[in-house]
Amino acid sequence: MRQRIGTVLTPIVFGLVLARPMAGLSVAAHRLAAVLAAVVVLWVTEALPLPVTALLGAAACVVLQVAPAKEVFAPFADPLMFLFIGAFILARAIFLHGLDRRLAYGVLSLPWVGARPGRILLAFGAVTAMISAWISNTATTAMMFGIGLSILAALRAPGVGTAIHPRYATGLMLMTSFAASVGGLTTPVGTPPNVIGLGFIRSMVGVDISFFRWMVIGVPVVLILFTFLYLYFNAVASAGVRELPAGAELIRRERAQLGRWTKGQRSVAIAFLVTVVLWIVPGIVAIVSGERSPAYQTLTRSMPEGVAALIGALLLFVLPGDQGRAISWDEAVQIDWGVVLLYGGGFALGVLSFQTGLAEALGRGLTGLLPIHGSFGMLVASVLVAVILSETTSNTAAANMVVPVVISIARAAGVDPLEPALGATMAASLGFMLPVSTPCNAIVYGSGYIPLGRMIRHGLVLDLAGIVVIVTLVRLLGPLLR
């Protein structure tokens, strides 16, 4: 029924937005608004497969002359796309050689964790959040995704005991994405919106927030949000059993049957560790020598995350496997290209929104609808607008759109722009409701364990919790950053 409604509603919404006069918008921005409205309807109703909708939106922008084809499809070649491809090939090799089973059974066999689903959820989410503080949210999710699937396979294996409820699988997959997004707020290098927002604050507000001064707010935000995240999913997505009776013994037996490491597993582990080191080193250099140091600037230019992921993936074609190389081309091309295309299309629409001025107009319009009285009202409005925009476009694009607009509006209103800009920067990472909101959501949505309705419902709860936490802590701790 939802798909049928979407099929009928999409052309109606497109026609209404295109026919309605919109003062202050350029022709290109007006047409893009119509395309974006139709795409959002198709994404929510799933009238078409999500990657198809993303490609349709990009193609429609070319047909309607929003921008030339070269500009519209340029985001599909963004370095982030190659981060996807490299990380997915690594994940594919981990799966093919059974390295994910070793990691999964290693976690499950810890004495403290045992076979208790609630403790597995906590341990898995905490590890994801800690890793995401230092490398990209997307890379973290891609890394932990295969491990999460293996954990679910182990818990659902015949002979474990009482079957776990399907909602637990949904909760664990969403924990993978949401914990990565939350953990990225810990440090300035945890996620691109942090760096983007800090750049605008430095250049437009004149406040240079150092690595550890950011963590004065980032660490408390992450601790509170992750605690809420775990308590929430442990309540609404419980496995239905406190402990799986035969689970611990089965897990120990399965781990013992894995035997010694194979040549292919060692090669995949080497490629994986090389990639992780290349992801982590810039963060370590930033801590030691600062973000403005020549060493950090050189590293970020010469070894971005996408290149690091490709180097790790390419190593798989060189290192030995059990038979031939660690991975063959036929095996590598079996990654989920639909997720790559899905995020590429969403990113393209976000970039066009910024280029045509639609994003600025939308930001001003949304801010104008909210009651703004003084600095606190501006902080609340900026956080709300950033969250809303992050749901329909990438968090990176949302930060680019909202933060400069917020600073301009705050100055015009005679309000100190630091707190609203900082709130918008952090809130840009709170897109939890849709698969296209963040790459993390797109990755876990491909697991097949997450119905779209549940992602929207759980994501809305996390968005609201994030808004409250960010507004409160930025208000309380923001003065410490000057």
The answer to whether position 319 is within a domain reads: yes
Query: What is residue 341's predicted lDDT score, i.e. its pLDDT?
Result: 82
Whole-number pLDDT of residue 368:
62
What single letter denotes the amino acid at residue 415?
V
Q: What share of the chain is helix, strand, coil (3-state, %, to 5)?
A: 75, 0, 25
Residue 141 inside a domain? The answer is yes
Cβ-contact 419, 375 below 8 angstroms: yes
Q: Are 168 and 237 in contact (CB under 8 A)?
A: yes
Beta partners for 320? 325
In a domain, 15, yes or no: no
Contact 171, 121 (CB under 8 A): yes
Q: Which two tokens stand for residue 209?
A: 């927030």
Distance CA 295, CA 311 (A): 20
Tracing tokens 């630091």 back to the chain, one arrives at 418
pLDDT along the chain (482 residues), means of 10: 86 91 85 89 79 90 93 83 80 79 69 76 85 76 77 66 74 90 84 78 76 83 94 84 63 73 90 83 75 78 82 93 89 81 77 77 64 77 86 71 76 80 90 80 82 87 93 87 72
Q: How far is CA 377 from the centre of its chain?
A: 28
Residue 111: count of CB within 10 angstroms of its CB = 6
Please, which residues bridge with residue 325 across strands? Answer: 320
pLDDT of residue 348: 82
The reply to whether 149 falls in a domain is yes
The pLDDT, as a whole number, for residue 14 is 93
Number of structural domains, the chain? 1
Burial of 168 (0-12, 13-18, 19+ CB in 10 A): buried
Distance CA(218)–CA(247), nearest Å, equals 37
Domain carrying residue 292: 77-199+210-332
Q: How confident is the model at residue 87, as a pLDDT?
A: 76
Rg of the chain over CA atoms, in angstroms?
A: 23
Assess if residue 374 is contained within a domain: no
Strand, helix or coil for residue 325: strand
CA distance 436 to 202: 29
Any domain includes 409:
no
Residue 58 within any structural domain of the chain: no
Q: How many helices (H) and strands (E) does the chain have?
A: 23, 0
- Structural contact between residues 444 and 174, judged by C-beta atoms closer than 8 angstroms: yes
The answer to whether the beta carbons of residues 245 and 161 sit under 8 Å apart is yes
Q: Count Cβ atoms below 10 Å from residue 357 Cβ, excluding itself.
A: 15
* Position 96 in a domain: yes
Cα 101 to Cα 268: distance, rounded to the nearest angstrom: 13
